[in-house]
Amino acid sequence: MVDRNDKKNRNNRRHRRVSKGYERKTVSIRRVAKVTKGGRRLRFSAMVIVGDKKGKVGVGLGRGSDTRSAVEKGERVAVKAMRPVQLIGDTIPHEIECKHGSARVLLRPAKHGTGIIAGSSVRTVLELAGIENVYGKLLGSNDSISNAYCTYNALLELRSARVLERMRIMRDRVELKKNMDAEKKSKQIAKRKSRKSSYKKKATKKVKKASKTKKTIKPKKK
C-alpha cells in the first residue's frame, strides 16, 4: 500500500519543477562499479541538462545509489551551473570550436529555417539553450558526457556584442527573431479568441435546441 504522504510529496516535487521555469533532460544513465575490500559497490551516474529555452542552460553530473537519486543530484548541479548564453536571434553569433578532454565540438551559425543539425548530447544542449538554427559537428570522442560539457563551454565562450557592431546581417537577424515571436503571440491570441467564440456558438445552439424540444405543459381542465 502507498501512503498518502508519499503521493503528496511527489505532487509537490512535480509542482516545484514546473514552477521553476526550466526543462530537464537526462542524457545518459550509467552503472558504476567500485571494487572495495568488502566486495563490489554498485552505484549509478546520471548526466542531466537543464535550460529555459530563452538563453540559459546548465549541465550537471549526479551520482547515487539508485537512478532516481542520481538524476535529482544531477539536476541540482545543473541548476547551480545555469548561465546565460549570448545569442543573436535564433542562432549563435559566430563560429566556434571548443575542446574538453577527448571531446572536440564545432558550432556554426545557420540560416533561418535550417534547424538544429547536430547529434548526441550536443543537440539537447542547443535545444534547451533556445537555439533554433545551428550546425554542430563532433570532431573528437563520441562520449555523450564529455560532448555535453564541451558544447556547454563553447556556448559560454560566445560573444555577440562585437559581432553586432561589425555585421549588419546579424542585426537584421535579431529583428527577424523579434518579428517572429510577435507573430507567434498574435497567432496564439487569435486561436484563443476563435476557440472562445466557437464554444459560445455551440452553447447557444444547445440552448436553442433544448428550448425547442421542451413541450409546453397545459393546465388540466376540471
- In the chain, domain spans: 21-169
Q: pLDDT tens digits, residue range 101-139? A: 889 999 998 888 889 999 888 999 999 999 989 999 999
Q: Tell me how far apart the alpha carbons of residues 125 and 113 are, in angstroms, rounded to a whole number.
A: 19
pTM score:
0.66
Rounded Cα gap, residues 151 and 127, in angstroms: 12
Per the DSSP assignment, residues forming a β-bridge with 42 are: 33
Q: Quick check: 131 and 151 in contact, CB under 8 A?
A: no
- Strand pairing category for 134-138 and 103-109: antiparallel
Tell me how crowded residue 45 is: count the other CB atoms within 10 A of its CB: 18
Q: What is the pLDDT of residue 1?
A: 43
What's the pLDDT band for 204 if we cut at 50, 70, 90?
A: confident
pLDDT of the residue at 127: 92
Identify the pLDDT of residue 218.
Answer: 52
pLDDT greater than 90 at residue 187: no
Q: Distance between the two ends of the chain, CA-based, in angstroms?
A: 66
Rounded Cα distance, 23 and 56, in Å: 11
CATH number for region 21-169: 3.30.230.10
Q: Rounded to whole angstroms, how far apart are CA atoms 180 and 202?
A: 33
Strands (E), the chain: 23-35, 40-51, 56-64, 83-84, 96-100, 103-109, 116-117, 134-138
Does residue 3 carry a pLDDT above 50? Answer: yes
> What is the model's pLDDT at position 38?
78
Q: Point out which residues pair with 49 in neighbouring strands.
A: 25, 59
User: Are 60 and 77 a contacting pair, CB within 8 Å?
Assistant: yes
Which has more confidence, 6 or 58?
Answer: 58
* pLDDT of the residue at 35: 83
Question: What pLDDT band is residue 150 in, cutting at 50, 70 and 90?
Answer: very high
CA distances from 92 to 20, 104, 163 (A): 26, 18, 10
Residue 85 CA to residue 55 CA, distance in Å, equals 5
pLDDT at 8 over 80: no
- Find the mean pLDDT for residues 16-32: 78
Closest CA to 48 of 16, 19, 82: 82
